[in-house]
């Protein structure tokens, strides 16, 4: 994980290990006279790909522009490591940072948020739920969560955004199923059953309908929606394989209301041309109904992975800058 790029003016960057997990810490050098805020960031990549190095530009920009100490986490990846390894790594790093933030980094532990993009946003949301159920009074909980086009459930791959953007780069509908399965247990033999909607028993579909019903989406996101040809029966073998994937630790959107009420203030960024768009919108709706303060940024010309194109020369998109600016604005609020 050795860095080769020059360190930008105004930042101090350290490669460290927190509780056995590699991290890169970005510290603004400008003094403000008060303890700084912090953000523990989990990169995307379908729980299989991505790295601290690949998110260097993103983390540098957030740290510099918002004057925030950013901890970028090099959690373990599938297929060598399955759930809950990734989430466990994110938890131990977050707990470790909260315990030393004030003494080692001049960061107020009450102003530390967690966040990430795509699979990393899934980990952030799942972690906030896990921590809310295990509070011991010794460490503060994250003050906010920053969810950038989050993957939040593996119960329904027929939402309008999955239909409208099934072949939109850079995340295809079938690849989303592939990534979830590799994170869960690596058994991709049930991919087709999942794509056909035969992996969830009817009684569970009825239970989840109140949370996943496309009618819960704003009308503009239902345009062109077709009634999916979803099987009314279910494949018991497929359900057995994916059952754990319906647990809120993998599908945070499926958490009960009493858990969501404990969620910290939340920022959600969604993109129009993204299969995961509706996951984010349905989640923020549930959070608002649970009384959680939510800030929503929607990129009408954005696609999945857009922040990874930030500051990439001719590959940079206008919506990359817009998305990054919205993240920085939100981080400055806590």
**DSSP letters along 215-255, please?**
GGS-GGGSTT-------SS--HHHHHHHGGGGSTTT-GGG-
Annotation marks residue 118 as catalytic? yes
Q: Which residue is catalytic, options 274, 278, 279, 308? A: 274
SS (H, E, C) 279-323: HHHHHHHHHHHCCCCEEEEEEEEEECCHHHHCCCHHHCCHHHHHH
Q: At 214, list the tokens.
A: 């496309």
Annotation marks residue 108 as catalytic? no
Q: Which residue is catalytic, options 66, 72, 118, 141? A: 118
Task: Give the angle 157-260-68 at the CA atoms, nearest 5°.
Answer: 95
242 and 154 Cβ atoms separated by less than 8 Å: yes
Q: Which residue is catalytic, options 304, 308, 320, 326? A: 304
Residue 209, H or E segment? helix 202-212
Annotation marks residue 240 as catalytic? no
Residue numbers annotated as active site: 118, 274, 304
């Amino acid at each position: 994980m050795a860095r080769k790029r020059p360190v930008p003016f105004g930042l101090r960057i350290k490669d460290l290990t927190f509780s056995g997990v590699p991290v890169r810490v970005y510290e603004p050098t400008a003094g403000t006279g008060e303890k700084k805020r912090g953000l523990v960031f989990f990169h995307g990549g379908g729980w299989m790909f991505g790295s601290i190095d690949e998110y260097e530009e993103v983390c540098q920009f957030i740290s510099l522009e918002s004057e925030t100490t950013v901890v970028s986490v090099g959690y373990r990846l599938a297929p060598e490591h399955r759930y809950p390894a990734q989430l466990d790594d994110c938890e131990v790093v977050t707990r470790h940072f909260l315990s030393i933030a004030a003494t080692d980094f001049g960061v107020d532990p009450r102003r530390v948020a967690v966040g990430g993009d795509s699979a990393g946003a899934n980990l952030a949301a799942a972690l906030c739920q896990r921590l809310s159920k295990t509070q011991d009074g010794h460490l503060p909980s994250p003050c906010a969560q920053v969810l950038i086009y989050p993957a939040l459930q593996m119960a329904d791959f027929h939402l309008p955004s999955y239909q409208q953007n099934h072949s939109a780069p850079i995340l295809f509908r079938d690849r989303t199923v592939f990534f979830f399965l590799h994170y869960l247990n690596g058994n991709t033999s049930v991919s087709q059953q999942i794509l056909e909607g035969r992996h969830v028993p009817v009684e569970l579909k009825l239970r989840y309908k109140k949370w996943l019903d496309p009618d819960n989406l704003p009308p503009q996101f239902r345009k062109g929606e077709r009634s999916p040809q979803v099987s009314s029966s279910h494949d018991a073998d497929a359900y057995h394989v994916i059952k754990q994937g319906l647990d809120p630790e993998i599908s945070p959107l499926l958490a009960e209301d009493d858990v969501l009420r404990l969620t910290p203030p939340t920022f959600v960024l969604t993109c129009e041309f993204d299969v995961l768009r509706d996951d984010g919108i349905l989640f923020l709706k549930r959070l608002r109904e649970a009384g959680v303060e939510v800030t929503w940024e929607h990129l009408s010309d954005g696609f999945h992975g857009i922040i990874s194109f930030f500051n990439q020369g001719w590959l940079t998109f206008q919506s990359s800058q817009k998305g990054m600016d919205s993240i920085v604005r939100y981080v400055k609020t806590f």
